Amino acid sequence: MSGNWEAQFADAPDILKSAPDQKTVVQAGPVVIGNGGFVTMAGPCSVETERQLMETAECVAAAGARILRGGAFKPRSSPYAFQGLGLDGLRLLARARAATGLAVVTEVMAAADAPVVAEYADILQIGSRSMENYALLEAAAHTGRPILLKRGMVATVADLLRSAQCIVSHGNPNVILCERGIRTFDTATRNTFDVAAIVVLQQIARLPVIADPSHAAGRRQFVPALARTAVAAGADGLIVEVHPHPDQAWSDGEQSLSFAEFDTMMADLAPWCELRACCGCALETVA
């Protein structure tokens, strides 16, 4: 790594690579992230009912997802919007894991909730609005669970790495970085998908990097194309919103894929993942 990188990201020394091939491999339940494979996390924005969650878990598992996402605690912009089922939602996620074998990732919003969320989840998600909530980062780190850290809506790459450094400095090296789009002047999509951030993070950071095309796009028809872009950029995986009836979803329905759309996206991604794997093998052989 060049000295320029080290100076620019000096506040995150434990996150930066000390060698070009250095990589943290994160174990989340039965799933490994960051070992050269491609892992898809998928599920509803919000856990609504047992039937909704179980149907979605079975669908995404059949299509090749390895991790079930679902919000039990929801940070919503409006106080009148659905805020999540809380503990009941966590219990439903645990039932879905038992039924399908999928690992579970779900968001924790408050430091006081971190221990109880960790009882039910394989990965604790820190949402974009909480990326710089340092008390929450510390509490999540101390649970010992892997942490999925989403980039803040107006955060730079350096900001993201500083938050990751906070988690690692509290004794938890198992952090997964997530590019989910940032706010810019453009309104064609919900957020601007910063695909360059994936490339930069894979170059300089030792942590796995995944992409969230759902929150970047804000419109379900754009999600598959952004997912392919993430694969090409070198992401270690995706986190995608899927719902049995997106138009009836209690939150984020406009960016959630239907079961058929998710099946199609996963089938379309397969050759891209295979091509990237083959290119990686070819580069290793040449080297």
Per CATH, domain 3-286 is 1.10.10.10: no
| pLDDT level of residue 281 (50, 70, 90 thresholds) | very low
| pLDDT level of residue 276 (50, 70, 90 thresholds) | confident
Checking if the pLDDT of 284 tops 50, the result is no
Burial class (CB in 10 A: 0-12, 13-18, 19+), 3: exposed
* Nearest Cα to Cα of residue 178 among 238, 242, 107, 109: 238
Report which of residues 276 and 165 the model is more confident about: 165
Checking if the pLDDT of 255 tops 80, the result is yes
Per-chain mean pLDDT for the chain? 92
Q: How does DSSP classify residue 12?
A: -
Question: Residues of the chain with pLDDT > 70: what percent?
Answer: 91
Say if CB 60 and CB 43 are below 8 A apart: yes
Q: Where are the domains of the chain?
A: 3-286
For residue 32, what are its two tokens?
């490994």
| Maximal C-alpha separation, the chain | 58
Three-state SS string over 41-95 comes to EEECCECCCHHHHHHHHHHHHHHCCCEEECECCCCCCCCCCCCCCCHHHHHHHHH
- Cα 108 from Cα 116, distance rounded (Å): 9
Q: Per-residue pLDDT averaged across 154-183, rounded?
A: 97
189: Cα separation from own chain's centroid: 19
Say if CB 25 and CB 35 are below 8 A apart: yes
pLDDT, tens only, 18-46: 888 899 999 999 999 999 899 999 999 99
Amino acid at site 276? R
258: Cα separation from own chain's centroid: 19
Say if CB 116 and CB 91 are below 8 A apart: no
Strands 26-28 vs 31-33: parallel, antiparallel or unpaired? antiparallel
Query: Could you tell me the CA-to-CA distances from 128 to 6, 66, 216 in Å, in that order?
Result: 25, 23, 12
Q: Bridge partners of 238?
A: 40, 211
At 45 the three-state DSSP class reads: coil
Checking if the pLDDT of 282 tops 50, the result is no
For residue 20, what are its two tokens?
């070009």
Q: How does DSSP classify residue 152?
A: P
- Cα 11 from Cα 15, distance rounded (Å): 9
Checking if the pLDDT of 82 tops 70, the result is no
pLDDT, tens only, 187-210: 999 999 999 999 999 999 999 999
* Nearest Cα to Cα of residue 195 among 243, 229, 155, 146: 229
For residue 173, what are its two tokens?
């090296």
